[in-house]
Chain A
Amino acid sequence: MRVNFTVNGRQQEADDVWEGESLLYVLRERLGLPGSKNACEQGECGSCTVRLDGVPVCSCLVAAGQVEGRDVVTVEGLADFAKQRDEHGHGGACGTGGGCGSKGGVSLDAAKQWRAKPGDSQTGEGAPLSNIQQAFIDAGAVQCGFCTPGLLVQADALLEENSSPSDQDIREALSGNLCRCTGYEKILDAVRLAAARQSEAV
């Protein structure tokens, strides 16, 4: 089957998708967006978390056909997504039950303006980063980094909803994301740091 949907603001079309393929598979293997990670592919680890119409979901549990006509943001589009949100205010409180439309944090038209910009292919240096991405680097929250994309998407959604979370709020929000390297302490540090920087910037 053919699936049409928006990924990081770009209209995408995947052909010859087998009905059993997950959104994760289509992103990684058909669209060349391997940022969402395949750590368990059974909805237990959160490494493949993406925003689907603004709501964080495990993309391994979403059948590709379910995203027809919908809007997906992956870690590759997180910086642009956050930038758009900053520029257009907090429109993205999906997942809080507050009458969220199908377009998530920004309008689909606005989203279509986004383009993932390749950074320095050797290092990624110079790539624009979102607040939460920069905080993960600065706090030492990245080790092997396999859990990082899912944590970033989830943590970004948390901060969108709750700009000054308590430690327990952070733990609750990230409890579906496994990390095997860090012991989580520096991940907590990163989210606290991002929250502090966010409040300074306001």
Chain B
Amino acid sequence: MAQNTRTVPAGTPTNVTQKHTKGGIGESTLRPDGTLKVTGEFAYSSDMWHEDMLWGQTLRSTVAHAEIASIDISEALAMPGVYSVLTYDDLPAEMKNYGLEIQDTPVLANGRVRHHGEPVALVAADHPETARRAAAKIKIDYRELPVVTDEASALAEGAPLIHEGRDDHHSGHVPHPNIVHRQPIIRGNVEEARKRADVIVEGEYTFGMQDQAFLGPESGLAVPSEDGGVDLYVATQWLHSDLKQIAPVLGLPEEKVRMTLSGVGGAFGGREDISMQIHACLLALATNKPVKIVYNRFESFFGHVHRHPAKLYYEHGATKDGKLTHMKCKIVLDGGAYASASPAVVGNASSLSVGPYVIEDVDIEAIALYTNNPPCGAMRGFGAVQACFAYEAQMDKLAAKLGMDPVEFRQLNAMEMGTIMPTGQVVDSPAPVAELLRRVKSRPLPPERQWETAGEGADVRALPGGLSNTTHGEGVVRGVGYAVGIKNVGFSEGFDDYSTARVRLEVINGEPVAMVHTAMAEVGQGGVTVHAQIARTELGVTQVTIHPADTQVGSAGSTSASRQTYMTGGAVKNTCEAVREAVLEIGRRKNGSYHPAWATAELLLEGGKVVTDGGEVLADIAEILEGEDAIDLELEFRHRPTVAFDLKTGQGDGHVQYTFAAHRAVVEVDTELGLVKVVELATAQDVGKALNMLSVVGQIQGGTTQGLGVAIMEEIIVDPKTAKVRNPSFTDYLIPTILDTPTIPVDVLELADPNAPYGLRGMGEAPTLSSTPAVLAAIRQATGLELNKTPIRPEALTGTL
């Protein structure tokens, strides 16, 4: 296997976007990176290439829990083409762990592995296959330990401790060291309220482990630099968070680790944690050569955290006239071997466990466990998804028991502006829960038996089983189900959540041109599109350049928690406003004496000119800036402060903003074979203000489909005896194809949030919440089965478990 013979080098990211186009906020402007993406020229992280580069490979644990008695790298190191083999002993700095909140994740296993797939050693070689073969030649002597896989085994007397001697800011208040974090929420008096209930329903729900399954694999290129530092081109959700975790384990100051975002092929939470970043840097520094790491799909399933699987135990009561009396719940999230975002997921699951309903008396507890299962962390919907699955099933049970329509029952109890959350927080912006339900319900239903084609028999492609031709409609029954959910926007619980934007305005070839530079990770959500729209709106310019995201500008925070348009959009808006003020200041200085409006009128920048709010043109921006330096400002933006939830009562204004979506699912079920076809998934969502409706609808449809996936097909299956992952491939972990995905009509409301930039409401996650329980409700309605576990597998529908 010889060295790379490629003659056409591709080096730095090409995701620089410049667009000469119109389109301010509210317009469906097209993506500035669209052309690059449809021509194959957009450089994703796995496309990075450097002259003389090596390929990195990770060797991962084949067992879930073991002591490592010995590692022998000699054979691997002796292979031709191998440049470096690294283990824990080669880590250069005192700091050998990383983590988002708790630094409990080893860069390479230190004498012990805690989950299947944990990184143990690294190889750099001149061909990826050489690297893979060399990794396979590393001999590891594992001495297996008993595995902890669920709540019972984690909290049993004498249970092995996943992290012995842990000393983090949660360890002092958790009842057991195998509990990462615990958040109770107590409000009112459940026992008293319970006496008022005419009906009480209980339920036990199981939510399976979902994978983000972004298509672009974890990958990047680390290039050693002359100053002893490293330049890293990588796909991530938060450059500055990565940097804070990477630099200490490399033993480098942060300024010697320069990070640039390369093209990101989807994220959905799965790139919030470190994957190959540190490994590539270590190999690059060890070999003094550029090193590229690209996971294949198998490794990708081990390379990122997953959505927390959960057990949820709920009790609700209601009066016979349909008013909810109380709610008790316990939510047990499996965080796997390392903490990742588990504490925050616990906070979300507990504080949103009541759903978008008014219940004054609640007794809530959420915990996340340490186990030997794969680590779990961020994924779209983040704690709220699991809770929504359970409380929506409970709503249907209650409605059925009361003989009420499930939508009317929800509407009767729906929260609204002014409702007090279980945390004591007052909802102070629109919360149109009843209206969202009304909208999905009032939509005409799709025609029945639509697989019947005129005169030609069944079009099997429209039936459950699809192209497999398993039925012509004989045993197919239809069901309709509803669900609605609530999600918080942004980082909660007192986190200092901010974003930074740099905006430069200068005249080029007689035209005012704005440059927007942020560290926002564009992961496909369309931030680059709306930033340009915001700059055009605020600065009245046509030409906007979006600078590549890197660590040469302040942090933009994470592209997660539905926060990026709110936060970095807000930062771009605020910075543009300051730039506008600077333009007007120069204008007043230069031209103020010529027209009284400079001093008296409200002035705007529009169409390249300074205009009064009455529409009178005062000057060209280009003229004002003539002979001046470019205006170049960098400002931070913060949302209103939040506080941590009280550790005993859960009280506190912990969230910034809430976001809501509702779904109606129509399904057809082949009851003989247990196959489900989702015919339609109608959705309604309040987005506050749609900055770009095309993108908004795309996000809602995409999020809805991920919720559909978890309802009927998606689950990482972990063997309960060995804690080994059984299905790390797209052959065995199924995500919806275009044949599995129905029509998704979208109804968008725009009820402004008075506290948010432009009144917008973060919206990327909400559609993932209610999609799953709506599909489940529809399948229950079609089959009459209880179905308390995701995903629904054929055996659950046919009684052949």
Contacts and interface: CB of A to CB of B under 8 A. Distances in A.
A32 B44 contact: no
Interface of B: 1-10, 14, 16-20, 28, 30-44, 46-47, 49, 127, 129, 212-217, 263-268, 294, 296-297, 459, 461-462, 467, 523-526, 694-695, 697-698, 701-706, 729-731, 735-739, 741, 743-744
Closest 4 pairs (CB-CB, A-B):
A35-B40, A32-B8, A144-B524, A146-B265
A187 B35 contact: no
Interface of A: 14-16, 18, 20-21, 28-42, 44-45, 47, 74-76, 78-79, 119, 121-125, 127, 129, 133-134, 136-138, 140, 142-149, 152, 168, 170-172, 174-188
Contacts of A42: 297, 729-731
B265 A144 contact: yes
Contacts of B297: 39-42, 44-45
A142 B730 contact: no
A69 to B, nearest CB: 19
Given A40-B730, A176-B737, 15 more contacts: A20-B129, A32-B6, A38-B294, A38-B296, A45-B297, A129-B38, A136-B34, A137-B30, A144-B267, A144-B524, A148-B37, A149-B38, A180-B215, A181-B698, A182-B702
A137 B44 CA distance: 18
Given A133-B38, A178-B730, A142 B31 contact: yes
Given A20-B129, A140-B28, A188-B738, A29 B6 contact: yes
A183 to B, nearest CB: 3
Instruction: Please indicate which of the listed interface residues A29, A137, A146, A170 has the most CB atoms of chain B within 10 Å of its own CB.
Output: A146
Given A34-B43, A144-B266, A168-B459, A185 B701 contact: yes
Nearest to A15: B5
A76 B40 contact: yes
Contacts of B7: 31-32
A15 to B, nearest CB: 5
Q: Which of A42, A122, A172 has the most CB of B within 10 A?
A: A122
Contacts of B467: 172, 175
Contact of A129 (B8, B35, B698, B738): B35
Nearest to A140: B694
Contact of A136 (B16, B38, B697, B743): B38
17 contacts: A16-B2, A18-B129, A34-B47, A37-B216, A37-B265, A42-B731, A76-B39, A123-B19, A127-B41, A137-B30, A140-B31, A145-B265, A177-B737, A178-B737, A182-B701, A183-B703, A186-B698
Contacts of A188: 738
A123 to B, nearest CB: 5
Contacts of B296: 38, 40-41
B564 to A, nearest CB: 14
Interface class of chain B by DSSP: loop
B4 A147 contact: no
A40 B5 CA distance: 24
A37 B38 contact: no
B702 A39 contact: no
Nearest to B771: A183
Given A35-B39, A144-B266, A149-B40, A168 B462 contact: yes
Given A124-B35, A144-B216, A180-B735, A35 B294 contact: no
A155 to B, nearest CB: 11
B19 A29 contact: no
A29 B705 contact: no
A45 B215 contact: yes
A145 B44 CA distance: 10
A185 to B, nearest CB: 5
Given A125-B35, A140-B694, A171-B739, A18 B46 contact: no
A125 B38 CA distance: 11
Nearest to B733: A44
A167 to B, nearest CB: 9
Contacts of A140: 28, 30-31, 694-695, 697-698
A76 B365 CA distance: 54
A29 B292 CA distance: 12
Contacts of B743: 185
B461 A172 contact: yes
Contact of B40 (A34, A174, A186): A34
A30 B8 CA distance: 8
B599 to A, nearest CB: 41
Contacts of A45: 215, 297, 730
Contacts of A28: 47
Contacts of B4: 29-30
B215 A47 contact: yes
B624 to A, nearest CB: 27
Contacts of B702: 143, 180-183
Contacts of A183: 698, 701-705, 741, 744
A169 to B, nearest CB: 9
Given A140-B697, A143-B526, A75 B40 contact: yes
A14 B7 CA distance: 10
Contacts of B459: 168
Nearest to A145: B37
A14 B2 CA distance: 12
Nearest to B524: A144
Task: Specify which of A37, A47, A177, A187 lies most central, judged by the most chain B CB atoms within 10 Å of its CB.
Answer: A37
B739 A175 contact: yes
Contact of B5 (A16, A41, A122, A175): A16
